[in-house]
Structure 1
Amino acid sequence: MSTRANPLKNNASKFAFLSMQPPPGYVAGLGRGASGFTTRSDIGPARDGGSMEEAVSDLQFKEIEPEQFQDPENETGLFAGTVYDKDDEEADKVYDMIDDRMDERRRARREAAEKKAEEAHLAANPKIQTQFSDLKRSLAGVSEEEWGALPEAGSLTGKRRKNNTRNDGKSYVVPDSVLAGARDRNEMSNSVDDEAGVATPASTGSTTDFREIGQARDKSLSLRLDQLSGTSSTAPVGAPTSKTSSTTPSSQSAAAGTSTSVDPKGYLSGLNSVQLKSDAEIGDIKKARALLESVIKTNPKHAPGWIAAGRVEEVAGRQAVARKVIAAGCENCPKSEDVWLEAARLNIPQDAKVILANAISHLPQSVKIWLKAVDLENDPKSKRRVLRKAIEYIPNSVRLWKEAVNMEDDPQDALILLARATELIPSSVELWLALARLETPDNAKKIINKARKTIPTSHEIWIAAARLQEQVGTSSADIDKLMNNGVGSLRAAGALLSREQWLKEAERVEQEGSPLTCAAIVKATVHYDVEDEDKYAVWMDDADALEERGSIETARAVIGFALKVFPERSKLWRRAAELEKQHGSRNTLTNILKTATQNCPKAEVLWLMLAKEHWLGGDVKSARQVLGDAFNANPSSEAVWLAAVKLEAENNEIKNARMLLNKARSQCGTERIWMKSAVFERQHGDRAEALKYVNEAIAKFATFDKLYMIKVGLLDNNKEIRDTFAVALKACPQSPTLWILASRFEEKMGVVIRSRALLEKARLINKNCDALWAEAVKVEERANAANQAKALLSKALQECQTSGLLWSMAIWMEPRPSRKTKSVDALRKVTDDPTIIVTVARTLWMEGKKDKARSWLSKSCQADPDNGDHWAWWYKFELQEGTPEKAQGVLESAKQAEPHHGEVWQSVVKDDRNLGKAFDALLKQTAASLS
């Protein structure tokens, strides 16, 4: 039979309180609102517990006794006689530990809350010290001069008392003496007693003779001038004074005060040069004097304080006091060279020599003091004596040795000094180089080799060696080899310069007149720290920057090295040719171009440049030979054919030119060659042959607009011209020039409506074409429709907002007072447009601002040197407002630029009547045509 646990036994152990006695007055369920019933036998003689409401009311209205919360250490009543044992102590410790633990848990939160509350309080009620904390921090950077400039803090109570005097309403009787004094104040006496002078009664009853006072003053001044008219003798500054010398700065100052030389005749006139100071300046001087007195008294060893105090007195005009102050500074700061130098400056030269002699006794190693002593000497012999004495004390001063060498007139004496200097200071590169410059070339070479071994980290010595080789006539290859060895040696010694530093050295050497050494430096160092893919761009940038700075030889060397690395780049050869054209000679230019054509035979422009240089130099035979070689290298080159034709035509070889054109049309036959053939025949009077060539060319190249333009110029029948324009506009609708020429033809024929229609149709086909809009505006202006022209120009500017041509027209349409404002608007829209720039220049010219107009005309030609109109405007300006020399300079610049564009310029150049005219005549004619 299985046994099971007794549940009653378990419940009895679990609910043991059920068997316990209830506390006195306990009523079951009383806390839940139940009211049980009791009998006398249950409660005995005790009173009834009452209901829950009565118990709560008793708790609420029970009075708190004063001794309820008394100190447990001072128990009274029930526990008054108990003993505080170990259990009580342990319980207190446990409670304290619990309190500390709870406080520790809440500490971080409490401290954060307290800090936040404190910050909020400080933000709402900031302290004065926190408000000015940033200003207090900035006081750390205040200099002594700013401290000295601070005004004194004065009391304003006196001013307030003076200004705030109140009228109490009281009145006082004025004495009769005051009224009498006011009456006799302006009274004058007309007679003076010559014998007795002006007698003034004194309190003692005696009289004062002002004449005797004046005579005594004059006599005192005369005696003073007689005393000051003597001179003092001083000891030379040859060596420092001995330690037993009794000369002190104070005694020197006293001596200076009694030995000052004054010119009696110029004394009174010298008083006129005294500058009177205002009250504010005097106040500032007094404040500065007070501050500096405090400084030198607080720290008498502070040399700048003494110097500042002396200078304040000097500014105040108290020279003697300044000398006295600086003499005291010398006594307190004998190891400060600045104080001694200031004392020497404030004194006359004779006294300054004595002061510097005393300074040398304290500071024999001061180079500045020795050099100041040298400056005070008058004759070269004395200067050399002082310098040699200084070198005895400071033998390792490079500056003293250099001064001593510069003072020597005999080169042999200078050589001896430099030889001794290099022995004493072998690390000075300057002394080695100076010695080498004075020696013969053979000895200089030995000296430089010795210097190179002594100072292996000096690049100046290697450069000097290369320059020496250049001076003696060594070839450039040897100089390049020497410079390469130098760069390798410097790299081994860890003293190699950067590429930019080497370029600066090359520029310096170029300025000193050593082009071969400059080129050697560039060849040896220009490729350092440059990646292979960046070499071309970096070297071109270097060449441009060097040319802008005027370092032409260095730029030439950079481009020459780049040509060795990239010999196949025709653009690089053109850059070299441009550099030679600007800064070189014709021979160097032709040599460059010959080498260029050998390395880049397919570059047509190089052949043409070479042929042109030969032609300009008068060597037509060589030009023909160059073009022949160009034909062999480029048999189907259009540019070479046309250049050959131009060469023959310019030299009046018309037959040869026509023959070349015939060959060109058969062998090359491009549209440009056909066009040049027609133009050539037209220029030489054969219009029928020209028209024949044009018709044949149009049949082959129907979309070449210039052929139609030439044909229109060859026709005489208006109907044929109109038909030609109709065909041309259908074949070349994208050519604005054709539309403009067709419109002008219709306008010339008197059909303005058709002219407008053509331009409107052209604008529909060619969007945003400012030339078409400009022509439409001109049509309205020629038709005397000013309002229509303005409206049309406004629409044009809306469509072509960045057109310089349209903005220029807008400026000229404005009345003269408003053109300046319109120019500003135009420059904001299109800043660097050459047309706007030349328009602004013309407006400045009209306003009479010649210098500004010249500057703006120069800017326009720099912005667009290919525009002949801009050069013509500048030339016209210089003819009218400038000088013939300036006008000729503009003409030469324009000839060098060789412009090809410009509305007036092209009309002049392409006129058949101007065929064969020189550039000067064409520019002058263009300038005369401008309006």
Structure 2
Amino acid sequence: MAASHQANKHAFLSMAPPPNYVAGLGRGASGFTTRSDIGPARQTGPDPSSSKREEGAKDDEEGEDGQYDDRDPENETGLFVGGPYEQDDEEADRIWDAVNVKMDERRRAKREAREKAELEKLRAERPKIQAQFADLKRGLGGMTESEWESLPEAGNLTGKKRKKSEKREARETGRSYAVSDSILLGARDQNMSENALSQDQMDTEGSTSSKQGIMTSLTEIGEARNKIFSHNLDQAGTATSLGGSASTIDPKGYLTSLSSLPTQSTAEIGDIKKARSLLDSVIKTNPSHAPGWIAAARLEEVAGKMAVARKVIAQGCDHCPKSEDVWLENARLNNRDNAKVVLAQATQALKGQSVKVWLKAAELETDPQSKKRVLMKSLEFLRESVTLWKELVNLETDPAEARTLLSGAVGAIPSSEALWLALARLSPPTEAQKVLNQARKSIPTSHTIWIAALRLWEQTSEEATDATQTRLDGMMSKAVQSLNQKGAVLSRDQWMEEALRVEQEGSPMTAEAIIKATLALGVEDDEDRRIVWVQDAEAAKDKGCVATARAILTYTLRLFPDRASIWRFAIDLEKELGDSQALEALLERAVTSVPKSETLWLIYAKTKWDAGDIPAARQVLIRAFEKNLGSEEISLAAAKLEFENGEKEAARLLLERARGEVGSRRVWIKSAVFERDEGRASNALEIVDQGLLKYNDEPKLWLMKAQLVQIESVSPSREDGIRTAREALSKATRSCPTSIAVWLSASRLEEAAGLAIRARALLERARLANPRNEVIWLEAARVEDRSGSPQEYRRLLSRGLQECPSSGLLWAESIFAEPRSTRKGRSVDALKKSGDDARVLCTVAQLFWTEGKYEKARHWFDRMCKADPKWSDGYAWWYKFEMVEEHGGNEAGREAIVEMARKNEARYGEVFQAVNKSPERISGKWTMRQVIEEVASRLVLKK
């Protein structure tokens, strides 16, 4: 009992202490807790996030970048790694993970595209072995069992691998093996040289010749070769110096020619070796694969080994005797004589069934008779080859012999359209018609033969008459029916292409017949037909096929005679590409079909007028007015016709009649303008007053009144005229507050009277009535400029640009308002803000002009005309520039500018309109060139 008690005396020491036990705490000792005391008690289970953080901190501490180096006080990376991982930290990590996933999804498309591009680039630079042999692997699918059985056995590589592994093991373990004496003796004698000659090599006199007298000393052989070579060079040089025949050896340039031979770099040689090994594997693995032999031969050709290339391709012919490509490659690699032999063997191997081989054989012949003989021989094997027949016919120079050959060709190949058509072209017209009839019977589904028959009929007709066209229309209708019955149905687009082709080849009547017979195919709805046919006519016109476009429009107008737009298109076509008689006939049909179209009547009258037939134009307008009573356009056109042809009284009566029957704004304005231009200001003023009673809101009438009251003022004093005009313009601003021209006229009237203050006030009112208007802002700034206030001038321009930031008018004015040093920067801003406005481009051209950079100025003037082709002041600026000879200007350049303005119908511009409305221009005395010259003379270049 005592023993057991003694044994268990210290058993409590091996027991676990109670929780939170501190030794000596009851005796007043101060306890302490270590990490070993706590153990896992503070954490019931492992925290994966905490472990990850600790592992990350550990990895970062083990890194080489020193990011947790305490010596760097600014390094805060991983500062809180050792802290407690709470719920907030977990939520933050989750949010950041979601953000990272979202950002990764946003960049996925670009990243995948970049990775795909990099992978494709890598595959292109360093393709895999399996990609290089992909075509060969696909070719293995067509191999037969006998071909598989004939494959050579691969060598046993296990011994080689075992030797390599044994050597590697020996190096690693330090073991060595005993080598037999025979191997050592063989290695000793391998590089050994024998200095003594054997007894049978020496004769009785001790010479170095054998029994047969052949020299065996290598030194003497080399010396003899050098002597022969030197002798040949000396002989060639002597012959050249004595004026003998030219030698093939140039003794002076021999070494130079050797150095000029193409050399290959180490990389190229390595690539050739790799390719040679790969192709060698291909042709050994599959000897019947023709492309492999061709590739191997071409590789040797690239490497400069033509003999090897010929040998390889010859082997290819032996292994692939049924491949015409191999035979053709063999012929290409040989000279002409050898190539003939090769092709003869090819015809035997291919039993004469290769068209390419026969054509190549004919090509190798030098004289036409030999070529014919080869082709005739080929037709014995390939009688149905169209290509061989064509080649044989092309070699024949006699038309009769060619017809004979083609007769035999169509007999051998009756289904060939090309041969039938060729025979018809070479035959006389009567025989050609019979040939085409036979061709239609042989090939009933060929539309080409039908078209050839129509073209033959058109060409053999004595003249293009309506009867001929009717005959062609009937033949084409029959052709379409026959082809439909045989199942050879062509679409409308295909027939359209045929019509365009036939017209381009010189058969317009046949093209018209095709259009009439096939235009309605595949289009059902009337509206769709009209739109589609007009589009077809436009396409034909763009291609220059006038007959086809005319036929389409004629067919369309027959079904839609009341469409004025189609008549307009047809008239424009005749104006551009037709003749005057056809145009007048078409216009007569147009006004008869659509009598209510004022535009067609006016075009008809203008055509007669341009032709110089004034009475006929007058009759057309009379007929037009009867069909369109009260027409403003026709009434004014009639008055203009009489006025410009000197019948001014008749024009006045027509305008008076138009005021009573039509009474439109335009009629009243034209009547007043007529009286004013004739010098009858009082009559004009009376007409204006009557017009204002009906149209009080017409600004042009108010402006004319302000102009006329100054001319016809009651008092002879100038002040009374200004006062009366001021009253008229004041009423105009109240009646027409949105008319910019009225406000500008009122302002300029006050400025001309010396009242700049009133002019500014009027422009201020105009800006309130018409906000964000660039013209009003420009006029206000120019008033200050003319008044001598440059600061106020620039301030108003700046304010105007704030309200109208994209105004090219204001930007162009502001460029020259700047000092010379800042104009270029201002012009750059103007171009960006205005979007290449024509006025800004013109100002930039003027800048280069003032700097003496004339070519650049000309370039910018050209850009200006392309940006706004109808701005007339721009043409005048360019014309003014070209008037100076030191700029490189000449008469041809100025004429080109005038022609460009005339072609683009330039019609507006600040200075141009003032000149264009002058009495000289209105009376028709000035041409476009004179107007541009006058405008150019009024333009002033700023410095």
Deviations 1:55-111, CA, capped at 9 Å, x for gaps: xxxxxxxxxxxxxxxxxxxxxxxxxxxxxxxxxxxxxxxxxxxxxxxxxxxxxxxxx
TM-score, normalised relative to structure 1: 0.68
Decide whether the 8 Å contact of 1:499 with 1:525 is kept in 2.
Answer: yes
Q: Which residue of 1 aligns with 2:520?
A: 527
Aligned partner (choices 288, 294, 314) of residue 307 of structure 1 = 294
Q: CA deviation at 1:655?
A: 2.8
Relative distance call for 1:549 and 1:355 in structure 2 (3 A) is same
Output the CA distance in 2 between the equivalents of 1:650 and 1:327: 91
Is the partner of 1:739 in helix, strand or coil? helix
Q: Percent identity?
A: 46
Output the CA distance in 2 between the equivalents of 1:819 and 1:488: 73
> Which structure 2 residues correspond to residues 530-549 of structure 1 after superposition, within 5 A?
530=523, 531-549=525-543
Relative distance call for 1:688 and 1:751 in structure 2 (3 A) is same
Q: CA deviation at 1:699?
A: 2.6
Q: Which residue of 2 aligns with 1:467?
A: 455
Q: CA deviation at 1:840?
A: 7.7
2:401 paired with 1:413: yes
2:673 paired with 1:679: yes
Is the partner of 2:855 in helix, strand or coil? coil
Q: Which residue of 2 aligns with 1:503?
A: 496
> Which structure 2 residues correspond to residues 879-894 of structure 1 after superposition, within 5 A?
888=895, 891-892=898-899, 894=901
TM-score, normalised relative to structure 2: 0.67
Relative distance call for 1:820 and 1:730 in structure 2 (3 A) is closer
2:689 paired with 1:695: yes
Decide whether the 8 Å contact of 2:841 with 2:861 is kept in 1.
Answer: no
Q: Which residue of 1 aligns with 2:928?
A: 919
Output the CA distance in 2 between the equivalents of 1:868 and 1:401: 66
Q: CA deviation at 1:629?
A: 1.5
Decide whether the 8 Å contact of 2:841 with 2:860 is kept in 1.
Answer: no
Output the CA distance in 1 between the equivalents of 2:359 and 2:427: 27
Output the CA distance in 2 between the equivalents of 1:498 and 1:834: 48
Relative distance call for 1:903 and 1:430 in structure 2 (3 A) is farther
Aligned partner (choices 684, 701, 707) of residue 713 of structure 1 = 707
2:229 partner amino acid: R
Aligned partner (choices 881, 892, 914) of residue 907 of structure 1 = 914
Relative distance call for 1:322 and 1:577 in structure 2 (3 A) is same
Output the CA distance in 1 between the equivalents of 2:559 and 2:504: 27
> Which structure 2 residues correspond to residues 443-458 of structure 1 after superposition, within 5 A?
443-458=431-446
Relative distance call for 1:851 and 1:743 in structure 2 (3 A) is closer
Relative distance call for 1:826 and 1:446 in structure 2 (3 A) is farther
> Which structure 2 residues correspond to residues 512-661 of structure 1 after superposition, within 5 A?
512-530=505-523, 531-661=525-655
Relative distance call for 1:700 and 1:472 in structure 2 (3 A) is same
Deviations 1:271-296, CA, capped at 9 Å, x for gaps: 67633333333333333233222322
Q: Which residue of 1 aligns with 2:761?
A: 757
Q: CA deviation at 1:568?
A: 0.8
Decide whether the 8 Å contact of 1:415 with 1:435 is kept in 2.
Answer: yes
Deviations 1:698-719, CA, capped at 9 Å, x for gaps: 2332221111222333324222
Output the CA distance in 2 between the equivalents of 1:506 and 1:877: 50
Q: CA deviation at 1:666?
A: 3.1
Q: Which residue of 2 aligns with 1:217?
A: 229
Give me the CA root mean square deviation: 4.0
Decide whether the 8 Å contact of 1:858 with 1:874 is kept in 2.
Answer: no
Decide whether the 8 Å contact of 2:564 with 2:597 is kept in 1.
Answer: yes
Q: Which residue of 1 aligns with 2:40?
A: none
1:482 partner amino acid: M
1:903 partner amino acid: E
Relative distance call for 1:811 and 1:325 in structure 2 (3 A) is farther
1:463 partner amino acid: I
Q: Which residue of 2 aligns with 1:101?
A: none
Is the partner of 1:710 in helix, strand or coil? helix
Output the CA distance in 2 between the equivalents of 1:811 and 1:337: 76
Q: How many residues align?
A: 703
2:421 paired with 1:433: yes
Aligned partner (choices 469, 473, 476) of residue 480 of structure 1 = 473
Q: Which residue of 1 aligns with 2:109?
A: none
**Larger relative contact order (Cα-Cα within 8 Å, sequence gap ≥ 6):** 1
Is the partner of 1:690 in helix, strand or coil? helix
Relative distance call for 1:371 and 1:643 in structure 2 (3 A) is same
Deviations 1:879-931, CA, capped at 9 Å, x for gaps: 77677556545544543554443333322221113332233433444455556
2:370 paired with 1:370: no
Decide whether the 8 Å contact of 2:557 with 2:567 is kept in 1.
Answer: yes
Relative distance call for 1:212 and 1:388 in structure 2 (3 A) is closer
Q: CA deviation at 1:563?
A: 1.8
Relative distance call for 1:918 and 1:451 in structure 2 (3 A) is same
Q: Which residue of 1 aligns with 2:67?
A: none
Output the CA distance in 2 between the equivalents of 1:692 and 1:745: 22
> Which structure 2 residues correspond to residues 54-453 of structure 1 after superposition, within 5 A?
142=131, 214-219=226-231, 274-363=261-350, 364-453=352-441
Output the CA distance in 2 between the equivalents of 1:800 and 1:926: 28
Q: CA deviation at 1:417?
A: 1.6
Relative distance call for 1:769 and 1:564 in structure 2 (3 A) is farther
2:454 partner amino acid: A
Q: CA deviation at 1:516?
A: 1.9
Q: Which residue of 1 aligns with 2:742?
A: 738
Decide whether the 8 Å contact of 2:845 with 2:856 is kept in 1.
Answer: no
Output the CA distance in 2 between the equivalents of 1:133 and 1:805: 55
Q: CA deviation at 1:553?
A: 3.6
1:504 partner amino acid: E
Unaligned residue ranges in structure 1 (runs of 5+): 1-130, 148-205, 226-260
Deviations 1:452-494, CA, capped at 9 Å, x for gaps: 2322322222222222222123622322232232223333333
Q: CA deviation at 1:816?
A: 4.6
Is the partner of 1:848 in helix, strand or coil? helix
Is the partner of 2:589 in helix, strand or coil? helix
Is the partner of 1:523 in helix, strand or coil? helix
Deviations 1:431-450, CA, capped at 9 Å, x for gaps: 22222222222222222222
Q: CA deviation at 1:851?
A: 8.6
1:622 partner amino acid: A
2:657 paired with 1:663: yes
Decide whether the 8 Å contact of 2:839 with 2:864 is kept in 1.
Answer: no
Decide whether the 8 Å contact of 1:456 with 1:493 is kept in 2.
Answer: yes
Output the CA distance in 1 between the equivalents of 2:783 and 2:130: 72
Output the CA distance in 2 between the equivalents of 1:843 and 1:376: 69
Decide whether the 8 Å contact of 1:743 with 1:759 is kept in 2.
Answer: yes
Deviations 1:828-871, CA, capped at 9 Å, x for gaps: xx58x76677778878986734896476356336xx5x544455
Decide whether the 8 Å contact of 1:725 with 1:742 is kept in 2.
Answer: yes
Decide whether the 8 Å contact of 1:835 with 1:860 is kept in 2.
Answer: no
1:454 partner amino acid: S
Deviations 1:545-564, CA, capped at 9 Å, x for gaps: 44344444433333332222
Relative distance call for 1:146 and 1:472 in structure 2 (3 A) is same
Max radius of gyration: which structure? Answer: 1
Output the CA distance in 2 between the equivalents of 1:825 and 1:640: 47
Unaligned residue ranges in structure 2 (runs of 5+): 1-115, 137-217, 238-245, 712-720
Is the partner of 2:586 in helix, strand or coil? helix
Decide whether the 8 Å contact of 2:831 with 2:840 is kept in 1.
Answer: no
Q: CA deviation at 1:726?
A: 0.7
Aligned partner (choices 707, 716, 726) of residue 722 of structure 1 = 726
Output the CA distance in 1 between the equivalents of 2:846 and 2:382: 69
